[in-house]
Amino acid sequence: MSKRIPVIAANWKMYKTKDEALAFIFAVNEKVPARTEVESIICAPSILLNLLVKREGENLRIGAQNMHYLDEGAYTGENSPLQVKSAGAEYILIGHSERRSYYNETDETVNLKMVAAFKHELTPILCVGEVLSERESGATKAVLDQQLEKAFLNISAEQALNTIIAYEPVWAIGTGKTATPQMANETIKDVRAKVAALYGNEVADGIRILYGGSVKPDNIKVLLEESDIDGALIGGAALDPNNFLVFTEAASNKK
């Protein structure tokens, strides 16, 4: 099996003022592990991107939470891939469950954003996941397979290998519920198997797949002990700089 570099991605959502963002980055900048050990990423509101990029250290990187798929246009309130790139962000969250639930993100727009991300050399963090009714009816694999098939349409094998996938069971986000480590790992194995079906074993073995669903300092270690979980996409718990460092340290110790 290839050695996959773990990823810890903090999704700040609609939190943190300028001063709070600066305090956070100064607290963690020199303490996160080397990039050769862990990819440590902050996905921040677009208005804070350039502020953070200017202050990122050697081992911390900044991502955006959303973008339009067009380079420019009359789309008030949106940010284009060119704007995200020019702000210095290197990663882009695509298809987060909140974007799908609240802002009409579809599998088709997810795909358009995937294509745009690679066009502008942004690394996509592709979010996939099922709601509680789908989990309870046994439809999880079918739902994820469809999301993956549509997201990777017109994406090359090389591009797929450079994608980070985040499996986020929607029923476990912000609810305090979490899949057991074994349940999360089995679902992520299914995601990896779908990638293998689309692109072959080499891509499936190399792609990083994260877990996102009420990840906390007290469960990160056991989640990362699982064979196929390559890191975590973390919301509220990663708003605290000390927690963020706990997460990155746990990832650096992943065997």
Which residues belong to the active site? 96, 168
- In 3D, which of 193, 167, 180, 163 has the Cα closest to residue 226? 180
Structure tokens at 195: 């990638």
Structure tokens at 198: 């689309």
- Crossing angle for the helix pair 140-151 and 181-199, to the nearest 10 degrees: 40
Q: Which segments are annotated as binding site?
A: 11-13, 174, 214, 235-236
Q: Which segments are annotated as binding site for substrate?
A: 11-13, 174, 214, 235-236
SS3 (DSSP) at 115:
helix
DSSP 79-96: --HHHHHHTT--EEEES-
Helix (H) or strand (E) holding 14: none
Alpha-carbon distance of 197 to 213, in angstroms, equals 26
Q: How far from 104 is each of 66, 82, 93, 95, CA to CA, in Å?
A: 13, 22, 15, 10
